[in-house]
């Protein structure tokens, strides 16, 4: 069993918690004793922050819509179809016809790359996330 | 937050508005209770009698959407009793005379009539807040999710400046952020108007700086907000300028607008118009189901990176396990897309991305991973590797120099109850669930505790309509309908209903209105008019 110190994935309090890992599965979470915010305390969501990680419904492979239905595809196919489609829309309708929705669940680094992708690669300021809910 | 979470414990007066803190920010609520144990006074502004409101010294139970009227009343009372902080106003603020003149026109009896809070209570709350040395304001989406959201926030800032309750330890204005990294996503410029660190995209010098680092010219055209991207272009209710270009392709990461955006019928129409929709998520959400391409993303336990909490604390989230199945972190996905579109982003690790962020973002100047790995995170602004973080903001001056009073006038919600739609519906969150439930509803313990789309109704209304706890009702607004299970509770006032947007089988956003604040584009999730249609007694 390994314990990995990380930060809770739910609200904006930013509690420090340990994820307990056994055989590459996260099997539990518990508060960090010395963390300045959580101070050995978590709410019910924090105690269960690991609960959805190995849910059977997790997406484990890319999906592409073919004949109206989402079908498994390789990463290469899914990425290339997306890159081609975005490039086509930019070419035909201009960059402002594409929107990017970043995520308050993604890291700072990922959000930085997403807004850079929108502005530097697509050429649009149509980038936002769910800051208002 | 201008303060840190731990500072709240030392406050003498805590004014909480539009926040069900014990439910949504339990760690912050812990500090409230500790402060009260030490003798602090707790004032709660909320249309609902939340658990916190029950424990408050004063509960200002306002009619939904009347914050500005209440605050103007409080400020008038503070001026009347000469409890203003003259020195602070003189040294640190501007536009005070306009503010004062506006307040002289405020009639407390009228404020009481608009808000439903007795004049005497308004005066008492104002006195308590103004007289203490260390008063802190904490607010949440109950303040912002209104068509007057910007005016609401400015009014809280006006109140704090009028009494000098900013710039010091233990006193300030603290918006509580709802998601683990909503602060960081804003900080990183995942907003249409700003680049990382709130640097304006309309500032030529800023764009030039980023163009030098990124090696491309940057667009100066205004971008669309989420609300505008996900509602039919030019739709009257959203107030979108008719000339705005329609979105033809949308790339969504870790969001579920088809359940979370207001007035879902409009959202569905917009999604129908897209030529191409790509969604990156950890589950097949309602939004992913209608996508053309779905990327399986890695969860928070499967990647390394930083996130920023409400108190501006940038912390390292560490990878615990390898990504489940063939899922990948979003940073990898974005870099692959960029490469295929002819703009290589060659970062070897999130730490390297952060080095670039440090370089271009002054408030994140010292947030290097190796440093964050050794500390409990660092609070921005932090200008460089050897600099300390910042416990509280606005110490000697405001970011813009002087704090500007922005007088605001009461605005009625876009839709108020009438004879056809007699109830005011308020939306928010439950304790055991979170947002659209993609994570919590798959967590057995949480789902067990709160697996039903409950509709909170006052017992008097329930009795009048012959409803009992567990009755199933169809609730309709002018935009759609949805079915809920009745819970009778005096948490809501008579004439008000409350429910949450966690449940895909009872999408409350079929009902909500897409009217929004004209500045912040924040939808008015907190009030819309509804009626009960079908009623099935249990």
Residues of A in contact with B292 (CB under 8 A): 64-65, 81, 85
As a 3-state breakdown, chain A gives helix, strand, coil percent values, each rounded to 5, of 30, 25, 45
User: Which residues partner with A19 through β-bridges?
Assistant: A4, A29
For residue B217, give the chain A residue with the closest CA.
A120
Specify the pLDDT at position B461: 96
Q: Tell the burial category of B432 from Cβ atoms under 10 Å away from its Cβ (0-12, 13-18, 19+).
A: buried
Domain edge (last residue) among B112, B147, B176: B176
Q: Which of B4, B302, B320, B348 to mutate to test the interface with A (most CBs of A within 10 A)?
A: B320
Claim to verify: residue B350 and residue B448 sit in the same structural domain: no
Claim to verify: residue B334 and residue B434 sit in the same structural domain: no
In the sheet where B305-308 sits, what is the strand order?
B305-308, B313-317, B378-379
Residue B411 has pLDDT above 90, yes or no: yes
Which of A61, A98, A127 minimises the CB distance to B190? A127
- SS3 of residue A90 by DSSP: helix
Torsion of CA B234, B239, B243, B246, to 10 degrees: -40
The CATH number assigned to the domain holding B28 equals 3.40.228.10
Kindly state whether residue A58 falls inside one of the protein's structural domains.
no
B293 Cβ contact partners less than 8 Å away, ≥ 6 residues apart: A62, A63, A64, A65, A73, A78, A81, A82, A85, B277, B278, B279
Distance, in Å, from the CA atom of B334 to the CA atom of B256, rounded to the nearest integer, reads 19
Kindly state whether residue B349 falls inside one of the protein's structural domains.
yes
Specify the pLDDT at position B245: 54
Specify the pLDDT at position B538: 62
- SS3 of residue B314 by DSSP: strand
Mean pLDDT on B251-277: 92
Specify the pLDDT at position B399: 83
Kindly state whether residue A7 falls inside one of the protein's structural domains.
yes
Claim to verify: residue B109 and residue B200 sit in the same structural domain: no
Provide φ and ψ at B531, rounded to 5°. Answer: -135, 160
Interface contact flag, B350 A109, Cβ < 8 Å = yes
Specify the pLDDT at position B239: 46
Instruction: List, for residues A31-88, the tens digit of each pLDDT value.
Output: 999 999 999 999 999 999 999 999 999 999 999 999 999 999 999 999 999 999 999 9
Interface contact flag, B221 A125, Cβ < 8 Å = yes
Claim to verify: residue A75 and residue A122 sit in the same structural domain: yes
Residues of A in contact with B227 (CB under 8 A): 132
pLDDT band at B240 (very low <50, low <70, confident <90, very high): very low
What letter does residue B334 receive in the DSSP assignment? Answer: H
Alpha-carbon distance A116 to nearest alpha carbon in chain B (angstroms): 8
Mean pLDDT on B297-318: 96
Kindly state whether residue B414 falls inside one of the protein's structural domains.
no
Interface contact flag, B432 A45, Cβ < 8 Å = yes
- Report DSSP letters for B375-390, one per residue: TT-EESP--STTS---
Instruction: List, for residues B372-408, the tens digit of each pLDDT value.
Output: 999 899 999 999 999 999 999 988 888 888 999 999 9
Kindly state whether residue B82 falls inside one of the protein's structural domains.
yes
Distance of alpha carbon A122 from its chain centroid, rounded?
21
Interface contact flag, A115 B179, Cβ < 8 Å = no
Kindly state whether residue B231 falls inside one of the protein's structural domains.
yes
Q: Tell the burial category of B10 from Cβ atoms under 10 Å away from its Cβ (0-12, 13-18, 19+).
A: middle
Instruction: List, for residues B315-336, the tens digit of each pLDDT value.
Output: 999 999 999 999 999 999 999 9
For residue A112, give the chain B residue with the closest CA.
B188
Torsion A102-A108-A109-A112 (CA) sign: positive
Residues of B in contact with A4 (CB under 8 A): 301, 318-320
pLDDT band at A133 (very low <50, low <70, confident <90, very high): confident
Distance, in Å, from the CA atom of A40 to the CA atom of A32, rounded to the nearest integer, reads 5
Distance, in Å, from the CA atom of B245 to the CA atom of B275, rounded to the nearest integer, reads 14
Nearest Cα neighbor of B313 from B368, B369, B382, B380 is B380
Q: Which two tokens stand for residue B48?
A: 């609902």
The H-or-E segment that residue B202 falls in is none
Distance, in Å, from the CA atom of B387 to the CA atom of B366, rounded to the nearest integer, reads 7
The CATH number assigned to the domain holding B476 equals 2.40.40.20
Bridge pairing between strands B13-17 and B58-60: unpaired
For residue A116, give the chain B residue with the closest CA.
B214
Kindly state whether residue A53 falls inside one of the protein's structural domains.
no
For residue A61, give the chain B residue with the closest CA.
B326
Distance, in Å, from the CA atom of B533 to the CA atom of B299, rounded to the nearest integer, reads 41
Q: Which two tokens stand for residue B313?
A: 């604390």
User: Which residues partner with A30 through β-bridges?
Assistant: A18
Distance, in Å, from the CA atom of B286 to the CA atom of A112, rounded to the nearest integer, reads 26
Interface contact flag, B293 A65, Cβ < 8 Å = yes
pLDDT band at B87 (very low <50, low <70, confident <90, very high): very high
The range of the structural domain enclosing residue A33 comes to 2-47
What is the rounded end-to-end Cα distance, in angstroms, of chain A? 37
Interface contact flag, B178 A61, Cβ < 8 Å = no
Claim to verify: residue A39 and residue A79 sit in the same structural domain: no
- Report DSSP letters for B52-96, one per residue: HHHT-SEEE-PPTT-HHHHHHHHHHHHHHTT---HHHHHHHEE-H
Count of structural domains, chain B: 3
Instruction: List, for residues A83-124, the tens digit of each pLDDT value.
Output: 999 999 999 999 999 999 999 999 999 999 999 999 999 999
Claim to verify: residue B69 and residue B170 sit in the same structural domain: yes
Residues of A in contact with B298 (CB under 8 A): none
Claim to verify: residue B464 and residue B352 sit in the same structural domain: no
Instruction: List, for residues B288-298, the tens digit of each pLDDT value.
Output: 999 999 999 99
Angle at B275 between CA B271 and CA B276, to 5 degrees: 80
Claim to verify: residue A72 and residue A42 sit in the same structural domain: no
Claim to verify: residue B330 and residue B461 sit in the same structural domain: no
Interface contact flag, B311 A14, Cβ < 8 Å = yes
What letter does residue B363 receive in the DSSP assignment? Answer: G
Nearest Cα neighbor of B293 from A119, A115, A76, A95 is A76
Interface contact flag, A14 B307, Cβ < 8 Å = yes
Distance, in Å, from the CA atom of B361 to the CA atom of B303, rounded to the nearest integer, reads 23
Instruction: List, for residues B433-486, the tens digit of each pLDDT value.
Output: 999 999 999 999 999 999 999 999 999 999 999 999 999 999 999 999 999 999
Claim to verify: residue B157 and residue B42 sit in the same structural domain: yes
B205 Cβ contact partners less than 8 Å away, ≥ 6 residues apart: none
Bridge pairing between strands B172-175 and B135-139: parallel
pTM of the entire structure?
Answer: 0.94
Kindly state whether residue B416 falls inside one of the protein's structural domains.
no
For residue B350, give the chain A residue with the closest CA.
A109
Mean pLDDT on B112-130: 97
The range of the structural domain enclosing residue B477 comes to 423-536
CB pairs under 8 A between A and B: 433
- SS3 of residue B16 by DSSP: strand
Residues of B in contact with A54 (CB under 8 A): 324
Alpha-carbon distance A72 to nearest alpha carbon in chain B (angstroms): 9
- Cα→Cα distances A17→A91, B376, B445, Å: 46, 12, 18
Q: Which of B251, B314, B369, B516 to mutate to test the interface with A (most CBs of A within 10 A)?
A: B251
Bridge pairing between strands A2-7 and A16-22: antiparallel
Count of structural domains, chain A: 2
Provide φ and ψ at B58, rounded to 5°. Answer: -135, 125
Distance, in Å, from the CA atom of A120 to the CA atom of B6, rounded to the nearest integer, reads 39
Domain edge (last residue) among B130, B158, B176: B176
Kindly state whether residue A17 falls inside one of the protein's structural domains.
yes
> pLDDT averaged over chain B?
93
Interface contact flag, A41 B27, Cβ < 8 Å = yes
Interface contact flag, A93 B193, Cβ < 8 Å = no
Nearest Cα neighbor of B437 from B484, B488, B506 is B506
Kindly state whether residue A52 falls inside one of the protein's structural domains.
no
Alpha-carbon distance B124 to nearest alpha carbon in chain A (angstroms): 31
**How many residues are present in chain B?**
538
Claim to verify: residue B14 and residue B62 sit in the same structural domain: yes
- Residue B345 · residue A49 · CB < 8 Å: no
pLDDT band at B236 (very low <50, low <70, confident <90, very high): very low
The CATH number assigned to the domain holding A38 equals 2.20.25.90
Residues of A in contact with B5 (CB under 8 A): 13, 36-37
Interface contact flag, A117 B309, Cβ < 8 Å = no
Residues of A in contact with B248 (CB under 8 A): 89, 92-93, 97-98
- Residue B261 · residue B227 · CB < 8 Å: yes
- Residue A75 · residue A62 · CB < 8 Å: yes
Instruction: List, for residues B480-504, the tens digit of each pLDDT value.
Output: 999 999 999 999 999 999 999 999 9
Interface contact flag, B219 A119, Cβ < 8 Å = yes
Mean pLDDT on B132-146: 94
B150 Cβ contact partners less than 8 Å away, ≥ 6 residues apart: B517, B518, B519, B520
User: Which residues partner with B249 through β-bridges?
Assistant: A98, B276
Domain edge (last residue) among B156, B176, B196: B176
Kindly state whether residue A122 falls inside one of the protein's structural domains.
yes
Which of B193, B195, B293 minimises the CB distance to A78? B293
Residues of A in contact with B376 (CB under 8 A): 16, 34-36
Claim to verify: residue A43 and residue A84 sit in the same structural domain: no
Residues of A in contact with B221 (CB under 8 A): 96, 124-125
């Amino acid at each position: 069993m390994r314990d990995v110190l990380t930060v809770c994935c739910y609200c904006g309090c930013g509690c420090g918690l340990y994820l307990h890992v056994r055989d590459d599965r996260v099997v539990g979470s518990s508060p960090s004793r010395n963390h300045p915010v959580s101070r050995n305390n978590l709410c019910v969501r924090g105690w269960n922050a690991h609960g959805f990680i190995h849910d059977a419904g997790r997406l484990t492979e890319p999906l592409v819509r073919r004949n109206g239905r989402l079908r498994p595809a390789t990463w290469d196919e899914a990425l290339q179809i997306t890159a081609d489609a975005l490039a086509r829309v930019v070419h035909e309708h201009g960059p402002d016809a594409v929107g990017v929705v970043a995520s308050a669940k993604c890291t700072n680094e990922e959000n930085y790359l997403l807004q850079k992708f929108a502005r530097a690669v697509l050429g649009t300021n149509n980038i936002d996330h769910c800051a208002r809910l | 937050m201008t303060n840190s979470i731990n500072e709240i414990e030392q406050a003498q007066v805590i004014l909480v508005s539009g926040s069900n803190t014990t439910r949504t920010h339990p760690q912050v609520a812990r500090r409230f209770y500790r402060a009260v144990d030490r003798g602090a006074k707790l004032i709660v502004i909320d249309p609902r009698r939340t658990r916190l409101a029950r424990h408050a010294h004063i509960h200002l139970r306002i009619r939904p959407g009347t914050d500005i009227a209440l605050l103007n009343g409080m400020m008038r009372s503070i001026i009347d009793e000469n409890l203003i902080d003259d020195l602070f106003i003189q040294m640190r603020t501007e536009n005070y005379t306009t503010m004062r003149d506006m307040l002289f026109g405020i009639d407390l009896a009228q404020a009481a009539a608009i808000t439903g809070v007795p004049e005497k209570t308004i005066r008492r709350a104002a006195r308590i807040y103004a007289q203490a040395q260390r008063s802190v304001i904490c607010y949440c989406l109950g303040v912002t999710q209104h068509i007057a959201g910007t005016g609401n926030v400015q009014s809280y800032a006006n109140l704090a400046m009028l009494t000098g309750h900013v710039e010091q330890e233990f006193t300030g204005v603290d918006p509580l952020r709802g998601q683990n990294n909503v602060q960081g996503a804003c900080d990183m410029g995942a907003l249409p108007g700003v680049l990382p660190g709130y640097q304006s995209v309309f500032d030529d010098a800023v764009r030039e700086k980023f163009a030098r680092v990124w090696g491309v010219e940057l667009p100066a055209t205004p971008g669309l907000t989420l609300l505008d991207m996900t509602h039919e272009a030019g739709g009257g209710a959203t107030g979108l300028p008719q000339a705005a270009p329609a979105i033809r392709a949308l790339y969504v990461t870790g969001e579920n607008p088809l359940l979370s955006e207001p007035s879902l019928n409009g959202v569905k129409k917009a999604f129908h118009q897209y030529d191409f929709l790509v969604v990156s998520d950890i589950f097949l959400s309602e939004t992913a189901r209608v996508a053309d391409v779905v990327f399986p993303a890695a969860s928070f336990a499967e990647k390394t990176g930083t996130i920023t909490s409400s108190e501006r604390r940038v912390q390292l989230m560490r990878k615990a396990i390898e990504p489940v199945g063939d899922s990948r972190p979003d940073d990898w996905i974005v870099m692959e897309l960029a490469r295929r579109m002819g703009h290589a982003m060659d970062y070897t690790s999130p730490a390297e991305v952060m080095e670039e962020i440090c370089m271009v973002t002054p408030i994140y100047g010292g947030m290097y991973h190796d440093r964050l790995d050794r500390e409990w995170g660092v609070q921005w602004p932090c200008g460089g590797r050897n600099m300390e973080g910042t416990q509280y903001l606005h110490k000697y001056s405001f970011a813009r120099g002087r704090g500007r009073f922005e007088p605001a006038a009461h605005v009625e919600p876009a839709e108020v109850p009438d004879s056809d739609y007699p109830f005011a519906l308020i939306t928010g969150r439950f304790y055991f669930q979170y947002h659209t439930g993609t994570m919590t509803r798959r967590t057995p313990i949480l789902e067990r505790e709160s697996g039903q789309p409950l509709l909170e109704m006052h017992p008097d209304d329930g009795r009048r309509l012959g409803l009992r706890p567990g009755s199933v009702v169809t609730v309709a607004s002018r935009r759609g309908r949805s079915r809920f299970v009745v819970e009778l509770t005096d948490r809501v006032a008579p004439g008000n209903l409350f429910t949450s947007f966690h449940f895909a089988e009872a999408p409350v956003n079929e009902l909500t209105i897409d009217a929004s604040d004209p500045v912040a584009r924040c939808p008015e999730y907190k009030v819309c008019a509804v009626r009960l249609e079908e009623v099935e007694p249990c």
